[in-house]
Chains A and B, each alone.
Chain A
């Protein structure tokens, strides 16, 4: 699976959009981009995934660049409860091994 690069930490004001970037320049054609988050001491939570089109669900939006070498997770109206470590993971469709990197610590401030 391709390697990803994320900033170690980010801050966001409550109510504002949080935009979390991820670089995956070695991504291959059959690999999806997945985003998870881990709120302190809890199990990771799946957020969203995409292949090449932008995706949106009730939690977030995922924007993938046309060359698929980077993506951005958008939390449209961040709340204090969105404070967590966010992980960007690249994985094949039928990949059985989910490999976590260091992720981005997002802190939402009042």
Chain B
């Protein structure tokens, strides 16, 4: 099915561990983004990409790295997990140069203990 696929759906990490959240889309979208949503709050942009090989920082980039080696994939890497990174992470994608809505994945629920 066409869409944005995020894995894993749930993850528990210990403080200091690193991990990669995976995001893949099969719609040939140029734009991809990562958001985090803390309980009872809105979505905040972590990193985004306008195409393969191009990434930039959003509102809350500290503690996260991204890369975009292909159009389809946009992984988010947590370098050294902290309890403050406990959140729900959403990946989204969209066509770039025309007005078009973003398609969101179903999220990864991360708990750092």
Contact = CB atoms under 8 A, between A and B. Distances in A.
Nearest to A43: B104
Nearest to A46: B101
A102 B37 CA distance: 12
Contacts of B74: none
Interface in B12-45: 31, 33, 35, 42-45
B92 to A, nearest CB: 7
B103 A46 contact: yes
Nearest to A102: B42
Interface string A19-54: 000000000000010101000011111110101000
B102 interface: yes
Contacts of A102: 42
Q: Which secondary structure characterizes the binding site on chain A? A: loop
B48 A49 contact: no
Contact of B90 (A34, A44, A51, A99): A44
Interface residues of A, number: 23
B75 interface: no
Interface in A73-107: 87, 93-94, 96-103
Contacts of B58: 97
B88 interface: yes
B13 to A, nearest CB: 20
Contact of A46 (B35, B45, B50, B102): B102
B42 A42 contact: no
Interface of B: 4, 31, 33, 35, 42-45, 48, 50, 56, 58, 88, 90, 92, 94, 96-99, 101-107
Shortest 3 CB-CB contacts between residues of A and residues of B = A46-B101, A43-B104, A100-B43
Given A43-B104, A46-B101, A46-B102, 13 more contacts: A36-B101, A36-B102, A41-B88, A44-B102, A87-B42, A96-B31, A97-B45, A97-B48, A98-B92, A98-B102, A99-B45, A100-B42, A101-B42
6 contacts: A43-B107, A96-B31, A97-B33, A98-B102, A99-B45, A101-B42
